[in-house]
Structure 1
Amino acid sequence: MNDTLPNRYSAKARHFHWTVAALVVLAYALILSTDIFPRDTGIPALLLQSHFWAGIGVLLLAIPRLIERLRHTPPSVSPPLHPKLELLSRLTHWALYAFLFAQPLLGIATVWLSDGAIPIPGTSLAIPSPFGVLPHWGHSLESIHKTLGTVFYYVIGLHIAAVVWHQFVRRDNLLKRMW
């Protein structure tokens, strides 16, 4: 059975897209929830740790997602976009891919440099930092990680706004390709 129609992304691509999107939403929800609970309850630490592992999930799925994207030409939007809109679309998508790699990698580096190791939940094991503990660098990377996270609220918002515009104003097949 062929799961790829000429006007639709492959089943793998759709799966990666929606799973990564869910993990990104989860990562944001977890980190934003840390301020809701008092620190002495331990809940913020659990939420932060869960945020970290949601980010690792994003990174682990971003790799095969990018490979799938590079192996298959995206189905065309019908009717075709104006060349300037097509360029803006491509730039936004590559910015999203950069985010899917940069954010988790910055998070990993931040933990390594700040704490010296990444603890593995449910075990007494940890992945040691290849760089040692450099708190100043860890703090600097954490600042970049937070700033990039804020910037990408807007890039993600632009992506969602474009989908809504395509679906309800332009009425093309953009959303149907990923559904």
Structure 2
Amino acid sequence: MASMDPLRPRYSRGQRTLHWLIFACVLLAYAFINIKDWLPRGARAQMLEAHFAAGLAVLLLIWPRLMLRLRRGAPAITPALPRHLHVPGQITHALLYAFLIVQPLLGLAAVELGGHAVNLPFGLAIPLLIRPDHLALARSIKEIHVDLGYIFYWVIGMHIAAALWHHAFRGDDTLKRMV
């Protein structure tokens, strides 16, 4: 692998590390929930627990990532983007950050409003933080959580496609700033 240009603007090591850790946790959360129904009944609960753990990891990791982003900002893209390309990127990033916060919170609320503790792998659990007597609300929140999950397949896909487009067709350093 070629050595990195020390003068090329990049996100900080912490920002890059958190980006890829969160990416891995989101990927795992999606994987666990999507393979759950293909498994025998006994293994489904374990996949659900793993899904919860990955979602909670996202929720815990997004806060330091946001703090670093606010403190350090984003390095400039070279060559600079025209305004008509800058605004869609800002909107997509805002949607991604909102998703990374809202989605795990909706999942937690749905489980707890349904009267269940959030069970995690290795016998760990998050105790009930919400009064669990709202089953209809729990079902509604779960539906929103699932629907947003499908919508954000597209948002995540747009984010990845845009990074690849910048790299392959525009020839700028958008993607290189995060590696």
Give the fraction of aligned pairs with identical amino acids, expressed as a percent. Answer: 44
Paired letter, 2:154: Y
Please give the alpha-carbon distance, in whole angstroms, between the structure 2 residues aligned to 1:114 and 1:10.
41
CA distance in 1, matches of 2:78, 2:125: 52
Q: 1:28 to 1:120 in 2, by over 3 A?
A: closer
The 2-side partners of 1:20 and 1:5 are apart by: 27
Query: Do the aligned partners of 2:52 and 2:119 also contact (CA within 8 Å) in 1?
Result: no
**Match in the other structure for 2:29:** 27
Q: Paired residues, what number?
A: 174
2:153 corresponds in structure 1 to: 153
Unaligned residue ranges in structure 2 (runs of 5+): 1-5
**Segment of structure 1 superposing worse, 95-104 or 133-142:** 133-142
Q: Distance in 2 between matches of 1:159 and 1:177?
A: 14
- Deviation, structure 1 residue 130: 2.3
What's the counterpart of residue 133 of structure 1? 133
Task: Name the residue aligned to 1:164.
Answer: 164
Q: CA deviation at 1:114?
A: 1.0
| Shift in CA distance, 9/129, structure 1 to aligned 2, threshold 3 Å | same
Match of 1:15 in 2: 17
Q: Which residue of the partner structure matches residue 69 of structure 1?
A: 69
Q: Are 1:120 and 1:127, in contact at CA under 8 Å, matched by a contact in 2?
A: no
- Tell me how far apart the structure 2 counterparts of residues 11 and 124 of structure 1 sit (CA, whole Å): 31
| Pairwise CA RMSD | 1.6
1:35–1:44: 8 Å Cα contact kept in structure 2?
A: yes
**Residue equivalent to 1:37:** 39
TM, length-normalised to structure 1: 0.92
